[in-house]
Structures are given as structure tokens and as C-alpha cells.
Chain A
Amino acid sequence: MKKLLILTLVVLMIAAVAFTGCQKEEAEKTEAPKVTEAPTEKAEDPTPEPEVKIDSITVTSGLWSQPLEQQFIREEVLPEFEAATGVTVNLEVVSGNDILDMLEAQKASGEWATDVVMTHSGDMPKYIGFEYVTPLNDLLADMDITILEAFNGSTSEGGNTYYIPISADVYLTIANNKALPYLPAGADMETLTWEQYKEWAIAMAVGEGTPRVAFPAEPVTAVVYQMGGIGLSYGAGFPEINTDGLKSAWGLVGEMMAADAILEASFNYGNPIDMMKSEEAWLSFYHMVPVGEVYSSAPAKFTIGPAPAGPVGNGTIAGAWGIGITAGTEKKSAADDFVKFITSEKILYKISAGTGGFIPPVEEVIEVLGNEPTDEVIKKGLGTLNAGIPHGVPGSNYQDWGAVKTVYDEVFQKLWDDDGVVDVAFLDTQQAKLEALLLP
């Protein structure tokens, strides 16, 4: 016993010494980069820079996280740029959070390894605020494209435009053509209402004897966005749990659950791709990229429609990806060329169609959309964007967006367990939880 005591004391002593050593180093650690007040004006360089041959640029992208998308870009898009300019593109696809860390390190050390960055609209304010990206006003003046204005709130600040949006996404409806016979009388996928969607779902469950709707509900994935979209259609804001709009939304979903119209397998998936491709599910309302992937696996078998409408309109959660140039890049001319290349109408169309159907937010591209089935996804998305009620993801208003998702997941799970009966008291508790997560 005594020996054990002595041993423990010795270990603690050593640990204490080690720990105090740690403390000193802590104090010396540099603080996180401060956010400066005004965006810095890039001074005009009077002397022309000596001609340095640039042979490669690094593009760090949060977009194209799916391997098939990456493959498409690498095989079908980048070689064209390399052939035209002789500059190789080093493309790295990294998650959004990781890019923020990388750029923080680059800015702190002064060594900018990244030249071009692709960021989601939800994160753009951070990049602009931390000065990781440089204004593109001169570049834009040089290019002759017209960008849709829907995303100016994210891409621009203080009169400067920092990002050019290259893709936008909304939620769409997708149905296996086998589901079409079950459409309620008078309903049409182009003008579907949520009431009709619900009736359709229930008709299929009754007629087929098995659920046919995919409502991906894997924890911490997309319940928040699906419910948010329905809520918007009923006049709610986003994110909300217990307002009237959401009460209607929960009620609608509850009725589908009560009629056994929703696949239980939905709880295992973060997207409807598997359920729709295996044809277990015939109907879903989801983000247009997975919808696009299902659709393009056999375009003749599926029909896409815009987001269903509620009394107030077609609600959908929307986002965009933009391309920007880092503040400290040393290869600006090549980076400029790359931005021009990506946003040129032929390439932008190729990317949008080839990677599952994003909406190219550049008017000139929209005009070249054809009648091909693969353009359908884009057109429907565009229709929803222009005529519907899109709403962005206010991730930066909340302590942790994952926690917000969990609040929605809990309501959805309880709704399922209660056989679709909405528990208003529970909605109120969850709303309180949601509001507790708001940043002051």
C-alpha cells in the first residue's frame, strides 16, 4: 500500500512538472488571426512584374466531394484548361472545415499554397471576414457574364465581390415513373402541392401494400432541410420547430407516417440515392444533387419536378458554391485564367450537367440549356429558384449546426414512434432547445 502511494506520488510529480512546462508554452501561443475593420485595398503595382512562367496552380475545393464528380472534373474538364494554357491544375478536394484551418495556417505563415478556392455560400462570410480571398472586381469587369443576383448577399461585401457563384442548389421532387399512375386526379409534377404529395404517397402505400416514399432520416444529416423546405411552403421561417408553418409541416409528414407511406429504411440513409436506385422508394423530395444522380442513372425511368408548393409557395433550402482567389496567391494571372475558364459558358454548362446537375447561376449558360433529359434537372432547379421561396442555411447564427440538426431529428423520431401524432408540447420543448443554441 505504501509502495503504491509512493509510486503514485512520483508519477504525479513528474506529471506536474510536465504540465507546468506545457503551461508556459500555452502563454506563448499566438492568438487566432484578428478580423480587420475595412477590407484592404490592393495597391496598384506601378512596376510591371517580371514574366515568371507559371506551370501549375493549386485549387482547393469543398465542392466535388463525390469521387465520381472528382473523376469527371479531372478527366473531362481540367485537361481542357491545361491544353489551352499549359498550366497544370493541382486539384485537392477537402471538407469545408479543413479548408478554413488550412487557410488560417497559410495566412499566418505567409506561405500561400492555395491559389483558387471553392467555397459554399454558408461559409463565404467567414472567408471574407478573415481576408482569405481577394476582391474580384477587376476580373469581373474583364469578363462578360451576367450572374444571377440571388447570391449577392453571400458573395459580396462592402462593394467588393469576392466570389463568383458557379453552382446553386435547391431541393426538388423526384419520382420513379412507376409512381405516376398513383398521382391524385388533376395533379401534375410541375405544379404539385404538398397536399397532393401526401395523397400520392398514401395512395402508393395503399395500392402497393408497402411504403414508397424515401425521407432520408439518418441522424444529423438532412431532416432539418426537408422539414425546413416544407415549413417554408407553409409560411414559416427557417429554422423553426413550433410555429404554425412547421406545425402544418409536421402534421403533413405525420399523416404520411400514420399511413405507412414512408420507408422505415429512411432512418439508415443520409440521402435517397440507394432507396431510389434499388426502386424500393418511388418518391422523394431532396437536394438536387442526389436527385440528379438518381435521375442520371436511368433518365427514362424517372421524372423530376420542382419543390412541391404550399399555400405560400414552393419552399426550399438553397445554397451556392462560389469560386474565389486567395488573398496571397503568387500566381494571380493563372488563377484569373482559371476563374475565367470555369465560368465560361461551355465549361460551366459541362460541369453543371456532368456533376449531377447544379444550377449554373450565369445567365448565358442558362440560355444554352437544351432538351436533353440531363438538362431537366437544371431547368427544374432554376424554376424553383426563381419562382419559389429559397432560403439559405444560417449556420453562422448558431453555436453548432449539428446540434440544430439533432433538435429536428428528435422531433422526427418522436413523430415516428408516436405513429404520426404530433405532440405540441414536445414541439415547444424543442423550440426552446433550438433558441438556446442561438448565438447572442
Chain B
Amino acid sequence: MNTKKLITRTLFLLFLVTMLIAILVPFFAFLATSLYSSSEVYQYPRTMMPRFTYDMKITWEDDMYQLSVYEDDIEDYELKIYTNSPEKLRIYLKKQYSVQLTDEEIVADFSKSKDGTAVYMQYKKDLLYNFKTFFTITSNADKAIMNSIIAAGWTILISLSIGSMAGYTIARYRIKWKKQINLSLLIVRMFPMVAVSIPMLVYLIRMGLNGTMFGLAIVYSVGNIALTAWITNSIFQGISVELEEASLVFGANKIQTFFKITLPLAFPGLVACSMYAFLAAWNDSIVALILSNSNPTLSLLIYKAIGMSGDIQLAAAGAVILVTPSLIFTFIIKNYINQLWGDVKF
């Protein structure tokens, strides 16, 4: 009996550990990529950890600086560029290796090679170079962040209010056509939004909502209201009616019952719904591109600045910026779910 339990326990543990590794490893690799320099991306074979420094060799030949960089896989210095312009060297070191120097520093360091000896330098790589580049390219990141927050906020408000009203009604009241209404809520999610965005855009422009965060929220809520209704429907169904009836017996009216008994019990579900609404608004770039190109959300800003380019380390940096608030939101929410059920603190 004991060994069986032990085996089940170990299996479960193994499963848990595998899942965690499967989730964390790609995520950390992605974080690491955002710290790579342009040349690091293509190193093979390599470790996942980003580099911190580069070893370089400078010689002076044919009236030009010959710059070589140490490559781990061949265990030697490889010639990369030759030029006699410090400006070109500065730009090269910045773009390819995230090494930031001034023209004067380059002249000071490199000119020692002019007497015929090779100069060996170790330069620090600017780990945050990709992030700095991102903020240079995008001119109004702070406004975009505000926009994303506003859009997400409106989406949560609209979806939760309309959706949970519908969900509660379907769960509690005896209405005709309950089944059909249930089904029709699902139908909304069945029609691919890709084809409907353009007519919706036209309609929103006529309403004067083109370029507003409220207009975006309306589009995001289309799918979310149905989702909220469906989720809250099943959550409210799971809250036993007896509890509400008991409260009524004790003299509370329907509204008090709802706010003091039903709502607290439904909180986890409502929280889950708000997270969906938040993510739908925060992460979308395609709807925002069509509807509010001139007033971008953060996700659209990143998409426009970096989206389709081949510089994967920049895309990773932009994505890290986008993911951070979502992660913080998720972290806060997860605490809340568990606190509500009085668990062991970690």
C-alpha cells in the first residue's frame, strides 16, 4: 500500500517538474535572447547565457585598423572588419556587438597598434542595448503604455459588467430559450474575427470612435462578453442556490444577497475573466493596427517598430517589455485567488 502511494507521489512530482521545466526553459531562453547582441544570436554552438564581454584584437596594416574578435568555437581571433575611420568602427562595435564607445576612446585605444604591435582589448557589452534601441526607435512609448492600460481597463469594464449580468441571469433564472441563448453566446466565438474587423472599422469610424481606446475596447469585448457570460454561468451554477436562499430566509433582500454572498463566492471566476479581458486588450496588435494606427497601444508600437524584422534579439526585447506588465498582473491576481481560500503561504 505504501509503495503504491510512493509511486503515485513520485509520478505526480515527475509530471510537475517536467511541466515546470517545459514552461520555464523556453521562457528563459526568450529572456536571454533579449540580452544578446546582434552577432550573438547566430553563435553556434553556444550556451544560453548572454555574454558580458568581448575580447578583441587590433592591428594596423595597409593604413587601416584590422579588427578581430575572439570566437569560442574556433578558439582564435577572426578578422571582422578593416577600416581607418574611427566613426565606422564605433558604429560597427555598437551595431554588431552592443559595445558602446566614443570616437575618441576608439582612437585612444586603437592607435597603439600603429607602432606595429597588436592591441588586445576586452570590452564590456551593453546588456541593455536592445532595450535602449527600442526606446530610441519608438518616440512615444509612454503614451502607448497609457493607451494600452486604458484600452484594457475599458475592456474589463465592459466585458465584466455586461457579461456577468448575462451569466448570472442564465444561471439563476428560469427563462425560456435558456439553451438557445447559451448556444448563441458560443456562436459569437465561432465567427472568425479576421473577416469582421473591416466592416466593424467602418462602423466605428462613423460613430466617431476611430482612434480611441474606447473603440478598441468595443472590438475586444465582442469576444470577451460571451466568454465572461459563459464562464460566470458555470461558476454561478456551481454556487449552490441553498446558500442564497438561506440568506433570504435570514432577512436579506436579493441585492444584499448578491453582493454579500454570491459575489464573494464567484470572485475567482470573475478574476479569471478579467485576466482574459486584460490579455485580449493588452496583447493585440492587429486590431489596433486597423483601428487606431495613429494612436498606438504598446503592443502595436512594438509590432510596428520591430515586428517583422529579422533582428530577433530586438523583437525579444520588445516582447519582454510587453510581457512584463502582464506578468505582474498575473502575479497579483494569482495571489488573490489563493488568499481567498486561506492557504499556506510560500
A binds B: yes
Check A74–B137 contact: CB distance below 8 A: yes
Check B82–A300 contact: CB distance below 8 A: yes
Q: A67-B314, A372-B83 are in contact. Are A3 and B136 (CB under 8 A)?
A: no
Question: Is B305's beta carbon under 8 Å from chain A?
Answer: yes
Determine how close the nearest CB of chain A comes to the CB of B279; give it in whole angstroms. Answer: 25
Q: A4-B180, A25-B206, A299-B80 are in contact. Are A71 and B137 (CB under 8 A)?
A: yes
Check A301–B310 contact: CB distance below 8 A: no
Check B177–A3 contact: CB distance below 8 A: yes
Check A94–B44 contact: CB distance below 8 A: no
Residues of B within 8 A of A3 (CB): 176-177, 180
Check B42–A4 contact: CB distance below 8 A: no
Which one of B11-19, B87-95, B239-247 is at the interface? B87-95
Interface residues of A in 89-110 (CB under 8 A from B): 90, 93-94, 98
Check A372–B314 contact: CB distance below 8 A: no
Cα A307 to Cα B66 with chains together (Å)? 28
| Residue from B96, B137, B177 within 8 A of A7 (CB atoms) | B177
Determine how close the nearest CB of chain A comes to the CB of B37; give it in whole angstroms. Answer: 11
Question: Is A406's beta carbon under 8 Å from chain B?
Answer: no
Interface residues of A in 179-225 (CB under 8 A from B): none
Residues of A within 8 A of B82 (CB): 299-300, 373
Check A296–B92 contact: CB distance below 8 A: yes
Check A98–B311 contact: CB distance below 8 A: no
Interface residues of B in 298-313 (CB under 8 A from A): 304-306, 308-311
Check B83–A297 contact: CB distance below 8 A: no
Cα A300 to Cα B68 with chains together (Å)? 9
Which one of A164-172, A272-280, A334-342 is at the interface? A272-280
Check B81–A299 contact: CB distance below 8 A: yes
Question: Is B79's beta carbon under 8 Å from chain A?
Answer: yes
Check A94–B85 contact: CB distance below 8 A: no
Check B293–A301 contact: CB distance below 8 A: no
Write out, one digit per residue, whether chain A residues 284-327 have a CB within 8 A of any chain B CB (1) or not (0): 00000010010011111100000000000000000000000000
Check A301–B79 contact: CB distance below 8 A: yes
Interface size on A, residues (CB 8 A): 35
Cα A290 to Cα B311 with chains together (Å)? 12
Q: A67-B305, A67-B306, A94-B293 are in contact. Are A75 and B136 (CB under 8 A)?
A: yes
Where chain B touches its partner, the secondary structure class is mixed
Residues of B within 8 A of A248 (CB): none
Q: Which residue of B lies closest to A22 (CB)?
A: B203
Write out, one digit per residue, whether chain A residues 66-91 have a CB within 8 A of any chain B CB (1) or not (0): 11101100111000000000000010
Residues of B within 8 A of A301 (CB): 78-80
Cα A293 to Cα B180 with chains together (Å)? 58
Check B80–A68 contact: CB distance below 8 A: no
Residues of B within 8 A of A299 (CB): 80-82
Check A67–B137 contact: CB distance below 8 A: yes
Determine how close the nearest CB of chain A comes to the CB of B89; give it in whole angstroms. Answer: 11
Q: Which residue of B lies closest to A113 (CB)?
A: B294
Q: A3-B176, A273-B310 are in contact. Are A298 and B81 (CB under 8 A)?
A: yes
Residues of A within 8 A of B39 (CB): 277, 297-298
Determine how close the nearest CB of chain A comes to the CB of B90; give it in whole angstroms. Answer: 11
Q: A98-B293, A271-B310, A274-B42 are in contact. Are A70 and B305 (CB under 8 A)?
A: yes
Cα A36 to Cα B81 with chains together (Å)? 54
Residues of A within 8 A of B311 (CB): 66-68
| Residue from A65, A290, A373 within 8 A of B81 (CB atoms) | A373
Determine how close the nearest CB of chain A comes to the CB of B64; give it in whole angstroms. Answer: 9
Question: Is B53's beta carbon under 8 Å from chain A?
Answer: no
Interface residues of B in 134-156 (CB under 8 A from A): 134, 136-137, 139
Residues of A within 8 A of B41 (CB): 277
Cα A296 to Cα B177 with chains together (Å)? 68
Check A67–B309 contact: CB distance below 8 A: yes
Question: Is A344's beta carbon under 8 Å from chain B?
Answer: no
Q: A7-B180, A277-B42 are in contact. Are A300 and B80 (CB under 8 A)?
A: yes
Question: Is A354's beta carbon under 8 Å from chain B?
Answer: yes
Q: Which residue of A lies closest to B176 (CB)?
A: A3
Question: Is B161's beta carbon under 8 Å from chain A?
Answer: no
Interface residues of B in 252-278 (CB under 8 A from A): none
Residues of A within 8 A of B234 (CB): none
Determine how close the nearest CB of chain B comes to the CB of A293; give it in whole angstroms. Answer: 8
Write out, one digit per residue, whether chain A residues 47-70 have a CB within 8 A of any chain B CB (1) or not (0): 000000000000000000111101
Residues of A within 8 A of B310 (CB): 66, 271, 273-274, 290, 293
Check A300–B79 contact: CB distance below 8 A: yes
Question: Is B38's beta carbon under 8 Å from chain A?
Answer: yes
Cα A66 to Cα B137 with chains together (Å)? 10
Question: Is A374's beta carbon under 8 Å from chain B?
Answer: yes
Check B206–A67 contact: CB distance below 8 A: no
Cα A65 to Cα B310 with chains together (Å)? 11
Determine how close the nearest CB of chain B comes to the CB of A178; give it in whole angstroms. Answer: 11
Residues of A within 8 A of B88 (CB): 372, 374
Cα A55 to Cα B78 with chains together (Å)? 48
Question: Is B338's beta carbon under 8 Å from chain A?
Answer: no
Q: Which residue of B lies closest to A74 (CB)?
A: B136
Cα A128 to Cα B266 with chains together (Å)? 61
| Residue from A4, A67, A271, A372 within 8 A of B177 (CB atoms) | A4
Most buried by A among B96, B136, B310: B310
Question: Is B8's beta carbon under 8 Å from chain A?
Answer: no
Residues of B within 8 A of A277 (CB): 39, 41-42
Residues of B within 8 A of A94 (CB): 293, 304
Check B85–A372 contact: CB distance below 8 A: yes
Check A300–B81 contact: CB distance below 8 A: yes
Write out, one digit per residue, whether chain A residues 348-365 have a CB within 8 A of any chain B CB (1) or not (0): 000000100000000000
Most buried by A among B41, B139, B306, B309: B309
By a beta-carbon cutoff of 8 Å, the part of chain A in contact with chain B is 3-4, 7, 25, 65-68, 70-71, 74-76, 90, 93-94, 98, 271, 273-274, 277-279, 290, 293, 296-301, 354, 372-374
Query: Can you list 27 A-B pairs, Cβ within 8 angstroms, ordered by A?
Result: A3-B176, A4-B177, A65-B308, A66-B310, A67-B134, A67-B137, A67-B305, A68-B133, A68-B314, A74-B137, A94-B293, A94-B304, A273-B310, A277-B39, A278-B44, A290-B310, A296-B92, A296-B95, A297-B38, A297-B39, A298-B78, A298-B81, A298-B96, A299-B80, A301-B80, A372-B88, A374-B88
Please name 5 further chain A to chain B contacts, defined as beta carbons within 8 Å, in addition to the given A94-B293, A300-B81, A373-B81, sorted by A numbering.
A67-B309, A71-B137, A297-B38, A300-B79, A301-B79
Closest 7 CB pairs of A and B: A300-B79, A298-B80, A278-B42, A277-B42, A299-B81, A273-B310, A70-B137
